Amino acid sequence: IPVERFDLIIFGGTGDLARRKILPGLFKRFADGQVPDGSRIIGAARSEMDRGEFRQFAKDAVISAQGDAVEPTVLESFLEALDYVTIDALGEIGWSELSEKLQGDSVRAFYFSVGPSLFDDLAVRLQKHKLVEPDTRIVVEKPFGHDLETAKALNKVLSAYFDESQIYRIDHYLGKETVQNLMAVRFGNMLFEPLWNSQYIDHVQITVAEEVGVGGRGGYYDKSGAMRDMVQNHLMQLLCLTAMEPPAKFDPDAVRDEKLKVIRALDPVEPHHVVRGQYSETDDEKGFRDDVENAKSWTESFVALRCQVGNWRWSGTPFYLRTGKRLQARDSEIVVVFKDTPHSIFGAEAGGARNELRIQLQPDEGITLKVTIKEPGPGGMRLMDVPLDMSFAETLGDHADTPDAYERLIMDVIRGNQTLFMRDDEVEAAWAWTDPIIQGWEAVHDVPKPYDSYSQGPTDAMLLMQRDGREWREIG
Ligand code: NAD
């Protein structure tokens, strides 16, 4: 879908997120012909740079993200759309210059790619310099607060200056092709929705496993942990899309209303249904506590939990969530495990297993439905499982070059489509559910269980499932 000409101003345009995601994403849209002539991308950050230096920064960013695939002439014309202003969010430097650069007749979006402590100052100065028009869009990044109270305070700051319809809170998991495909599969087929309830689904497991450790983000991460950094946002969003009722329309508020209902329907989590872990050192690499430079850290790098959506559709079908760093592989998926057939006419010895719908998000995106068929050959009626596979790379050929989540989300901002962005009430409801879990740990000084780096996580996470007679899918 084409977009209108735009001015995108990236506050924090010289930062890590701009370098790794925003600028390479914009380049890919440009190379696909989706950036209309006359559009401009304006970096605005504290770093003293001129336009030429910012273009060089962006050029390096694109080349390091895309490698040899970059067509030099296309890259040069992309760079011509780039401009830069040295600006101070906390002072007056740069604001008049920015104001002069903006075009009156383009879609205008300000990307707040800076820490949340600067949101208030940016908003004040944007208003003071009259840079915000009724149709102007504001893009913000996680973390959306540290708990319910800080999330409310952040939303209050934003709502003091902007209307909720102008605010785009990015959760890049929602920009993934497969996550949207989950909605297409659920609501575009007759096949699944009638079975999509506790009568036919045994349980759902959602895993976001990372192979990397906390890396250079130790200071931030030690104050955050897997629950705040991953579960409160990404895993809860995946849970919502899996569990929500069909929205009446695929429109922003209809979808977000249904997601919100899921979060509000979540039962409180029993303490014995949560497992926390911390990765241990290897011969070559430091463990979690060394990485965050805190020998007594109680922060979790892994969390697994069992939760229950307390409504008619899901009563009796648990949802198991797990996420962690330094696990065996980078591997993220939603697995919907159906119940056994009510009666096996072939006898238990014939084999065969349950149907599973597996929506894989990382490392590759794809959807697999596991079905049971007869084992070929004359050996009698023996059953086997085969995957009905829709790996995007193989099945969709040329269309398989799925845009990165950021590309899609930035273009949705320009289009003015908020469907894949989180609303203020969703963010707050998610904190209202996670806060008591975290407070419970703090109250009893819960110590995370150590787990081997590059493993499946702590043994207790396995037991969480085994106690219910179930098993996690293996990571990797
Ligand atoms: P960063 O520290 O690499 O960059 C910060 C940017 O802000 C720089 O361009 C800097 O010049 C600018 N800046 C700082 N103070 C300023 C001021 N007073 N006035 C104007 N500009 C100022 O940060 P980052 O990693 O790019 O992250 C940006 C935001 O995105 C943060 O809120 C972060 O939590 C969030 N985020 C980042 C990632 C990531 O992968 N890097 C992922 C998710 C969310």
Q: Tell me, what's the pLDDT at 309?
A: 98
pLDDT digits (tens, 9 = 90+) for 168-196: 999 999 998 888 889 999 999 999 999 99
Distance from CA of residue 336 to its chain's centroid?
19
Q: How many CB atoms lie within 10 A of CB 360?
A: 19
**Is 87 close to ligand 1, i.e. is its CB under 6 Å away?**
yes
139 lines ligand 1 (CB under 6 A): no
Could you tell me which CATH number the domain at 6-141 has? Answer: 3.40.50.720
Please give the CATH number for the structural domain made up of 174-466.
3.30.360.10
Contacts of 476 (CB under 8 A, 6+ apart): 209, 327, 328, 329, 331
Q: How many CB atoms lie within 10 A of CB 39?
A: 21
Indicate whether residue 332 lines ligand 1 (CB < 6 A): no
Instruction: Check whether 81 has a pLDDT greater than 60.
Output: yes
Residue type at position 365: E
Helix (H, G, I), strand (E, B) or coil at 388: strand
Are the beta carbons of 191 and 402 closer than 8 angstroms?
Answer: no
234 assigned to active site:
yes
Q: Indicate if the pLDDT at residue 349 is higher than 70.
A: yes
Tokens of 219: 């200071």
ipTM of the complex: 0.97
Residue 219 near ligand 1, beta carbon < 6 Å: no
Atom of ligand 1 nearest to the CA of 142: 44
Dump pLDDT digits (tens) for 33-66: 999 999 999 999 999 999 999 999 999 999 999 8
Q: Which 3 state secondary structure label does DSSP give 207?
A: strand
Reported as a pLDDT band with limits 50, 70 and 90, residue 394 is low
pLDDT in tens, 242-292: 999 999 999 999 999 999 999 999 999 999 999 999 999 999 999 999 999
* Domain definitions of the chain by residue range: 6-141, 174-466
Tokens of 105: 């007749």
Distance 178 CA to ligand 1 centre (A): 28
Written as one letter, the residue type at 148 is L
DSSP 426-457: HHHHHHHHHHHHHHHHHHHTPPPEEE-TTBS-
Q: Would you say the pTM of this structure is higher than 0.80?
A: yes
User: Rounded to the nearest whole angstrom, what is the distance from the C-alpha of residue 273 to the centroid of ligand 1?
Assistant: 35
Residue 476 Cα, ligand 1 centroid: separation in angstroms?
A: 32
Q: How far is residue 352's CA from residue 17's CA, in Å, rounded to a whole number?
A: 46
